[in-house]
Amino acid sequence: MKRVDTSDWPCTIARSAAVLGDHWNLLLVRQACLGTRRFDDFQRELGIGRNILTRRLNQLVDEGLMSRVEYQDKPPRSEYRLTQQGREVYPILAAMAAWGERWLSGPEGTPLVLHHNVCDHDMQAVVVCSECDAPIDVREMQARRGPGYRADRDRPATI
Domain boundaries, the chain: 1-86, 89-143
Give the Cα separation of 63 and 66 in Å (integer): 8
- The β-bridge partners of 110 are none
**Is 1.10.10.10 the CATH number for 1-86?**
yes
Terminal alpha carbon distance of the chain: 26
- DSSP characters over 8-71: TSS-HHHHHHHHH-SHHHHHHHHHHHTT--BHHHHHHHHT--HHHHHHHHHHHHHTTSEEEEEE
- How high is the pLDDT of residue 25? 97
Q: Which of 94, 126, 109 is nearest to 26 (CA)?
A: 94
> How many residues are present in the chain?
159
- What interhelical angle do 90-103 and 23-33 show, nearest 10? 110
- How high is the pLDDT of residue 155? 57
Q: What is the pTM of this model?
A: 0.87
- How high is the pLDDT of residue 152? 65
- How high is the pLDDT of residue 3? 82
Q: Which residues of the chain have pLDDT under 50?
A: none
- How high is the pLDDT of residue 39? 97
Q: Are 81 and 66 in contact (CB under 8 A)?
A: yes
- How high is the pLDDT of residue 32? 98
